[in-house]
Structure 1
Amino acid sequence: MHTETRPTPVAHTDGPHPAIQQGSAPQGSGPVPPAFGAVPPVPPGRPGRPRDRKRVGPAVFVTCLVAAGLLGGGVASGASALLHSAAAKTTTTAQAAISPVIVNNTESVNAVTAAAQKASPSVVTISVSSGSSGGTGSGIILDTEGHILTNTHVVTLDGAAADAAVEVRTHDGQVYKATVVGTDPLSDLAVIKIDAQGLTPATLGDSGAVNVGDTAIAIGAPLGLSGTVTDGIVSAVNRTIETASSATSGGTSSDGSSSDGSSSQGGSSSQNPFGSSQQGLSASAQDSISINVIQTDAAINPGNSGGALVNAQGEIIGVNVAIASAGSSSSSSAQSGNIGVGFSIPINQAKRVAEEIISTGKATHGQLGLSVQDKTSGSSSDFTAGAEVASVTAGSAADKAGLKAGDVVTGLAGRTVTDASELTAAAREQAAGATVKITFQRDGQEQTADITLGAAS
């Protein structure tokens, strides 16, 4: 059972940032918004398909696909820490350009080649250093003003550095100093900014329209190899994972083991895979966060963190964040790599968080205000999978919506809830103050209610 502390109010955004818009394929759809710049046309992709609304299967505990550090410590349930270290030395001179997508035979270009050519100029390589530690990750250019989307764990060296030095290498090989606009440990997203001209903003797709089996293309800098393109398919949608928070000791706090069910009681637990590996740095205690993700079998490795997951039209559908790994133990010093199970934060969620960070310096997340645990079977005739309410905080969003101890939450904001972690993830991906539908069972009867979410700390 998880007990909640009352959240500290978080500032709301005054509205979407005008420079970040959701794009679409350019064919026959009118001019591309100026914020995204001109992009080359690509062959028509597969037609639009209905949205996936539900998920199946239990929550998965994985570690961050991080951009820095050494392997130190593992986690339960077959997932191990995956860390990629890089030289701590920073350079201010222009390095070799990121290799372009090479086309040797224009008569046999396929959809992956076309999509990669369109999206690659919008993906950058990020170098981060603090003291004797450093690492490499990836990022996605959002607008011509220089805002770049990446992971919190990239710019904080897995939560070990609150004020690391950040540099960005663009597609044309130019290197720029970057400033951190804001980090959001609850979603493991961050926005940085560079002062550069001629940037190519990414075209954002609709992650809500993604189907299992769709082409998925990962672009980033795995193992420091900038401009790397891999492809596969979307192997699952609406997956819930738990991963270590990258909140720094001097930064925004994570939700920890919040009452909305950031981890399952009696389920897998995490050892801190980061703290002792960052020599000379002071890492905060690593709480876990629950996030909804797109799962893909496109090859993703350390250094892909913060990079793009792209559809066949060259539109960004996700931000690569984590990878499942097998066979590593807490005493292993070997680097873990791709095993065909990678995870990306859906771009619809990432877009909202980025807009709020750019507008206010931070993002908001919904909170229910209750303590939950995974529902366990009492008898074969009355078992309902979901998040069982243990207690409700007086005056909270859940209290105002009429929830009571003993209720079993089975859905929130259109997402199916089968355990405590999924409930946390569903609440956190909503903005604070959002009004959504909550579905729950009480005395064997299904009920629904409107709930206006509070603000997670």
Structure 2
Amino acid sequence: MSQQSPNGQTSTPVSGVDDGAHRRLGPRPIDRPETDPVLTSTFGRPDGVEGAFARGPEVTPPPVQLAAPPPEALSTAFGRPPYGDELLQRPPGDTPPEPEVDPVFWAGKPAGDPWRDPGAGAVIGPPAVTEDTPAKEKKPAPGPQFSVPELILGRRVKPTSMAILLVVVLLIGAAGGLVGWLVGRAGNPLTDAEVTLAEVAPGKERPAGSVSDISTRVTPSVVSIEFKGTNIAGIGSGVVIDGEGYVLTNDHVVAPAAQDTSAKLTAVFTDGTRAQARIVGRDSKTDLAVIKVEVKNPTVLRFGNSDELKVGDTVIAVGSPLQLSNTVTQGIVSALHRPVTAAGENGGPQVTYDAIQTDAAINPGNSGGALVDSSGTLVGINSSIRTETGGSVGLGFAISGNQARKIAEALIREGKVRHADMNINVKSVSAETSEGAQVQNVPAGGAAAAAGIQEGDVITKVGNRIVRNAAELTVAVREREIGETVKVVLARQGRELTVDVTLKSD
């Protein structure tokens, strides 16, 4: 195509580039270096192929799957409006109108808003304060404040009137308080706010020999005995009977510790001192035992003469019933020379002893504790109770102090006790005219066989003590000494006989 230049000449364009002065430059020569034969053989077009790619087999394209028409709701919301043919995208060449320029609020020519027109230039605004800004006004001075009368009453009041008003208010308050006091007194006529109870000036008198005086002297010599092992634990009581730390107690208190090697005995004194105890000796037949503790200057309880006790005499029991240490209970001697029997520990020999019966409260844990008379001397070792409820019902039994002292001396000296014995087996019998202990077996070589006692004989008396049952025969014989000869009264085939029996050891 020919073009006419401004000077009227016609020029024919050639291939090239316009240099800006309506002149065309010729193309630059093509520099094609020689190719490497190796590369040509590797990347060159195969022989017989004219195009850039080899033609493959003719493939028929699959039919076009047209999309389903859109839902009516979407067409209504997003479809082209029914009127006009304007598209959402403006056609090329459709230039939007220039935005209106917002005028500025100071003198000068209007300029475009830079926040709305990106092509607008930056504009510096006017200063925040001009010379025409009025000076800051001064705050008015505070006015006079209201007084208390004005605040309360709403107007000014004379001082005298205010004082009179205050007096009236006080009088009304006093009158109201007086009325309330009178109403309160009239509401409960049994109360008196001015009462003062009388108090006796001197303290309680505690004469010598009172229960308080006796318990003060006795309790330091009574200890709690605790035994704890792998599978056992319990508590009993004991009495310090010698300054070397010997403690007298019941055999059934220390028997669990003696039978279980893992158990330990501990004596706890009233001041809280705890000392490990060792077993000195046991006598399972009379339910007594002696243990020893290493303490300095213990309080020792003296023995009294239990044979001088009478029924009705006052006695005091001290021990640790139900793990309540230093418990003191008071009662009387209910009976004397009461034979008591009990089963032995773990199949051991039967326990039999001459007991003092008392109604002083004795419960589990009192075992091994002291029973003292009105002078504060030891007359018994609390050992057992008779009950149908498991608790104290006023039938407690203590081993007599004289028997306990004799057995304790033997245990401390030798570690064991030997008792006087007739070497017979008996049972309790009762008839209309008499009662006693009937002989069941007379072993050869024993004291009874040597005295001529036969099976079937009923023993009714040993020395001066009447025998009513088998247990009483046992305690009557144990009161004697080994080797002592004693007169025994018995009934044989309706006749009463008296024989001399020389007692032997069990």
TM-score scaled to structure 2, two decimals?
0.57
Query: Can you list the C-alpha shifts for 1:208-232, whole angstroms capped at 9, x where unaligned?
Result: 1111101010000111111110001
Give the C-alpha shift of residue 109 in structure 1: 6.9
- Please tell me whether the aligned partners of residues 182 and 361 of structure 1 are also in contact (alpha carbons under 8 angstroms): yes
Aligned match of 1:43 = none
Runs of 5+ consecutive residues of structure 2 not aligned to the other structure: 1-202
Q: How far apart are the structure 1 equivalents of 2:321 and 2:414? A: 31
Is 2:250 the partner of 1:196?
no
Aligned match of 2:498 = 448
Aligned match of 2:218 = 119
Q: Which residue identity is paired with 1:405?
A: E
Give the C-alpha shift of residue 195 in structure 1: 1.1
Aligned match of 2:476 = 426
Q: Which of residues 180, 193, 196 is equivalent to 2:279?
A: 180
Is 2:305 the partner of 1:206?
yes
Aligned match of 2:318 = 219
Q: Which residue identity is paired with 1:217?
A: I
Q: How far apart are the structure 1 equivalents of 2:221 and 2:463? A: 32
Q: 1:107 to 1:193 in 2, by over 3 A?
A: closer
Q: 1:398 to 1:286 in 2, by over 3 A?
A: closer
Q: How far apart are the structure 1 equivalents of 2:313 and 2:260? A: 37
Give the C-alpha shift of residue 160 in structure 1: 5.4
Q: 1:116 to 1:450 in 2, by over 3 A?
A: farther
Q: How far apart are the structure 2 equivalents of 1:408 and 1:180? A: 40
Aligned match of 2:165 = none
Q: How far apart are the structure 1 equivalents of 2:209 and 2:424? A: 50
Runs of 5+ consecutive residues of structure 1 not aligned to the other structure: 1-103, 247-283, 328-335
Q: How far apart are the structure 1 equivalents of 2:219 and 2:301? A: 9
- Please tell me whether the aligned partners of residues 257 and 263 of structure 2 are also in contact (alpha carbons under 8 angstroms): no
Q: How far apart are the structure 1 equivalents of 2:419 and 2:262? A: 24
- Please tell me whether the aligned partners of residues 385 and 410 of structure 1 are also in contact (alpha carbons under 8 angstroms): yes
Aligned match of 2:367 = 305
Q: Which residue identity is paired with 1:128?
A: F
Aligned match of 1:320 = 382
Aligned match of 1:296 = 358
Give the C-alpha shift of residue 287 in structure 1: 5.2
Aligned match of 2:19 = none
Is 2:471 the partner of 1:417?
no
Give the C-alpha shift of residue 159 in structure 1: 7.8
Q: How far apart are the structure 1 equivalents of 2:380 and 2:481? A: 19
Give the C-alpha shift of residue 161 in structure 1: 3.5
Q: 1:449 to 1:200 in 2, by over 3 A?
A: farther
Give SS of 1:359's match. Answer: helix
Aligned match of 2:394 = 340
Q: 1:450 to 1:440 in 2, by over 3 A?
A: same
Q: Which residue identity is paired with 1:214?
A: D
Aligned match of 2:445 = 395
Is 2:458 the partner of 1:359?
no
Give the C-alpha shift of residue 415 in structure 1: 2.4
- Please tell me whether the aligned partners of residues 156 and 164 of structure 1 are also in contact (alpha carbons under 8 angstroms): no
- Please tell me whether the aligned partners of residues 317 and 329 of structure 2 are also in contact (alpha carbons under 8 angstroms): yes
Q: Which residue identity is paired with 1:148?
A: V
Query: Can you list the C-alpha shifts for 1:181-220, whole angstroms capped at 9, x where unaligned?
Result: 0111001000000111111111111111111101010000
Cα RMSD (Å): 2.2
Q: How far apart are the structure 2 equivalents of 1:230 and 1:387? A: 36
Q: How far apart are the structure 1 equivalents of 2:403 and 2:257? A: 21
Query: Can you list the C-alpha shifts for 1:375-403, whole angstroms capped at 9, x where unaligned?
Result: 343xx5xx421112233222211112221
Q: 1:158 to 1:193 in 2, by over 3 A?
A: closer
Q: Which residue identity is paired with 1:293?
A: A
Moved more, 387-396 or 444-453: 444-453
Q: How far apart are the structure 2 equivalents of 1:431 and 1:354? A: 15
Give the C-alpha shift of residue 413 in structure 1: 4.3
- Please tell me whether the aligned partners of residues 257 and 265 of structure 2 are also in contact (alpha carbons under 8 angstroms): no
Q: How does 1:70-219 map to 2 (within 5 A)?
A: 105-107=204-206, 111-157=210-256, 161=260, 164-219=263-318
Give the C-alpha shift of residue 423 in structure 1: 1.3
Q: How far apart are the structure 2 equivalents of 1:413 and 1:188? A: 25
Q: How far apart are the structure 2 equivalents of 1:122 and 1:241? A: 27
Q: How far apart are the structure 2 equivalents of 1:164 and 1:158? A: 5
- Please tell me whether the aligned partners of residues 124 and 138 of structure 1 are also in contact (alpha carbons under 8 angstroms): yes
Q: How far apart are the structure 2 equivalents of 1:191 and 1:143? A: 11
Give SS of 1:157's match. Answer: helix
Q: How far apart are the structure 1 equivalents of 2:491 and 2:317? A: 40
Q: How far apart are the structure 2 equivalents of 1:140 and 1:345? A: 13
Is 2:458 the partner of 1:408?
yes
Is 2:296 the partner of 1:234?
no
Is 2:421 the partner of 1:350?
no
Q: 1:289 to 1:384 in 2, by over 3 A?
A: same
- Please tell me whether the aligned partners of residues 225 and 265 of structure 2 are also in contact (alpha carbons under 8 angstroms): yes
Q: Which residue identity is paired with 2:426?
A: V
Give the C-alpha shift of residue 443 in structure 1: 4.2
Q: How far apart are the structure 2 equivalents of 1:434 and 1:162? A: 40
Give the C-alpha shift of residue 365 in structure 1: 1.4
Give the C-alpha shift of residue 429 in structure 1: 4.4
Q: Which residue identity is paired with 1:316?
A: L
Structure with the bigger percentage of helix: 2
Q: How far apart are the structure 1 equivalents of 2:457 and 2:325? A: 50
Seq. identity, %: 41
Moved more, 297-306 or 423-432: 423-432
Give SS of 2:304's match. Answer: coil
Query: Can you list the C-alpha shifts for 1:29-54, whole angstroms capped at 9, x where unaligned?
Result: xxxxxxxxxxxxxxxxxxxxxxxxxx
Q: How far apart are the structure 2 equivalents of 1:433 and 1:355? A: 19
Q: 1:375 to 1:319 in 2, by over 3 A?
A: same
Is 2:471 the partner of 1:439?
no
Q: How far apart are the structure 2 equivalents of 1:117 and 1:413? A: 41
